Amino acid sequence: MNGGRNSTMIMKFILLGFSEFPKLTIVLFSVFLGIYLMTVSWNVGLITLIRLDSHLHTPMYFFLSNLSLLDICYVSTTAPRMLSDFFKKQKSISFMGCAMQYFFFSSLGLTECCLLTAMAYDRYAAICNPLFYTAIMSPTICVQMVAGSYMTGLFGSFIQLCILFQLHFCGPNVINHFFCDLPQLLILSCSDTFFFQVIMSVLTVIFGLTSSLIIMISYGYIVATILKITSAEGRSKAFNTCASHLTAVILFFGSGIFVYMYPNSDDSLSQNKMASVLYTIIIPMLNPLIYSLRNKEIKDALHRWKKRIFSWYVLFVSYSSLS
């Protein structure tokens, strides 16, 4: 076994992508390219709006701007490679390239888990402790929470990367996916993956279950506080500030649980691929919309900047006509 493994060590993989739909290549490429461009532009637009408008310089929007930046990086770990592979005959990727892609994808995904948890705590502090909110969520604390999210995500992914380098791949080398994801790599490995699976289970508990537990506890207190609010307008305002975040949490954690907790049988690989499209490509595009559509402060900020841009345009036209 060892001798065979050493003599046939796999140094590159073949990503199948969406090759099972050859007649839809142009359509799928156009759709995914459009989604990627919208994701980047919408998130950049939201970051720019939050940076420019002083009314949005609050902890909630500080976290939201970091979530938008994270989503841009997150989708960029998979989408550009997937788009380029649509028109390649040989969709190969080196083992090192595969490992690095998974490292950045995993670290950003774990960071998003931590950041969504921090945002849940922020909503808890704002609704359950409004008098002490500015003290609890000081600028220093907010920066530390965001930095801690990135550091924790990188650390968790680094552990996986170290173990991934211990695995051996001796064939086959075909990955039925559009990026290098862990379940598919485990299937292809000819090493004993039990220890790796144990580590993954531990990381799942630490990041997935712990984050979910903190978020559920936070929202338990939030719901209890909202029910005590006497005015219907007050309850509606408090609920609207949490509804967007809760929607993003359910989409991200729900699709992730489906992929990483679902059995990796041959029948489930296509389903996992479709679910992966949701949490790697669709959700980063939806997040700025989820946080903007029912957000009065975002709408007011957009209205203010539309008026400013229009007034600047009028001044420019007037100046041009005079000159």
Q: What pLDDT is recorded for position 2? A: 43
CA distance 309 to 314: 9
pLDDT tens digits, 128-170: 988 899 999 999 999 999 999 999 999 999 988 988 888 888 8
Residue segments in the chain with a per-residue pLDDT below the cut of 50: 1-7
Question: What's residue 193's pLDDT?
Answer: 81
pLDDT at 201: 79
Can you say whether residue 176 is alpha, beta or left, with left for phi > 0 and alpha for psi between -120 and 50 degrees? beta
pLDDT tens string 162-184:
888 888 888 788 888 889 988 78
Rounded to whole angstroms, the Cα distance separating 277 from 150 reads 23
Under DSSP, is residue 12 helix (H, G, I), strand (E, B) or coil? strand
Please tell me the predicted confidence (pLDDT) of residue 100: 94
Question: What pLDDT score does 323 carry?
Answer: 59
Q: How many CB atoms lie within 10 A of CB 195?
A: 11
- Beta bridge partners, 174, equal 14
Task: State pLDDT tens for residues 178-214.
Answer: 899 887 888 888 888 888 888 887 887 788 888 889 9
3-state secondary structure of 40: helix
The CA distances from residue 285 to 62, 145, 254, in Å, are 19, 24, 16
Q: What is the total residue count of the chain?
A: 323
CA dist 17 and 108 (Å) reads 21
CA 224 to chain CA centroid, nearest Å:
29
Q: What is the pLDDT of residue 173?
A: 87
* Order of strands across the sheet that contains 12-15: 92-94, 12-15, 174-175
Q: Which residues pair with 176 in a beta bridge?
A: none
Show the CA angle centred on residue 244, arms to residues 302 and 39, nearest 5°: 65
Lookup: tokens for 141: 């604390």
Residue 18, helix vs strand vs coil: coil
Measured distance CA(193)–CA(168) in Å, rounded = 10
Cα dist from 171 to 4, 133, 193, whole Å:
10, 56, 15
Q: Within 10 A of 137 (CB to CB), how many other CB atoms are there?
A: 22
pTM, entire model: 0.87
Contact indicator for 98, 185 with CB cutoff of 8 Å: yes
182, 160 Cβ separation under 8 angstroms: yes
At the second CATH level, the architecture of 8-294 is Up-down Bundle (1.20)
> What pLDDT sits at residue 322?
63
